[in-house]
């Protein structure tokens, strides 16, 4: 567990001197960011080609946007880190990326849990009211 002790040190995260990552970490970060980007692309294609209800399509679009954005930002950060560019390759950008990804995922879950049921209920009540209203003659 000694290799995890620098993760709790604030100096470790905000050190601006570029330090080359180990090959395993480079491969892992690249795989992570590429996977997130690929998942975003797959979700985008699924929404475009699939027949989903309106709310599921909206959730999938939001998740695709989040994954695509975070994948690209992660790969940009990885490039700066790989090239050892001082400010843009710093470790605190990964913290910001992680916080952004978590906040985006929480907002999607909140939308699923709170807003979708109320929107479905509102749509259902509108449909019940509209069935008694006269239709336009064509």
Please report, in tens digits, the pLDDT of each residue of the chain (138 residues total). 566 666 677 777 777 776 777 889 889 999 999 999 999 999 999 999 878 888 899 999 999 999 999 999 999 999 998 888 888 888 888 899 999 999 999 999 999 999 988 888 888 888 887 777 777 777
Cα distances (Å, whole numbers) of residue 97 to 26, 86, 94: 16, 17, 5
Domain ranges for the chain: 20-130
Instruction: Look at residues 79, 69, 15, 8 and name the one whose alpha carbon lies nearest to residue 44.
Output: 69
pLDDT value at position 125? 85
- Give the number of C-alpha atoms closer than 13 A to the C-alpha of residue 81, restricted to the C-beta side: 21
Helices (H) and strands (E) counted in the chain, each on its own, are 5, 0
Total count of residues recorded for the chain: 138
Report residue 59: phi and psi, to 5°.
Answer: -65, -45
């Amino acid at each position: 567990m000694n290799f995890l002790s620098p993760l709790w040190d604030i100096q470790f995260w905000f050190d601006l001197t570029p330090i080359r990552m180990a090959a395993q970490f480079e491969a892992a970060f690249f795989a992570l960011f590429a996977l997130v980007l690929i998942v975003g692309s797959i979700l985008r294609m699924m929404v475009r080609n699939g027949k989903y209800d309106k709310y599921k399509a909206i959730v999938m679009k939001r998740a695709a946007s989040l994954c695509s954005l975070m994948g690209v930002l992660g790969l940009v950060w990885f490039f700066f880190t790989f090239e050892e560019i001082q400010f843009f390759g710093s470790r605190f950008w990964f913290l910001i990326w992680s916080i952004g990804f978590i906040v985006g995922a929480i907002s999607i879950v909140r939308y699923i849990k709170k807003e979708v049921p109320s929107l479905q209920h509102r749509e259902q009540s509108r449909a019940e009211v509209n069935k008694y209203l006269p239709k336009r003659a064509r």
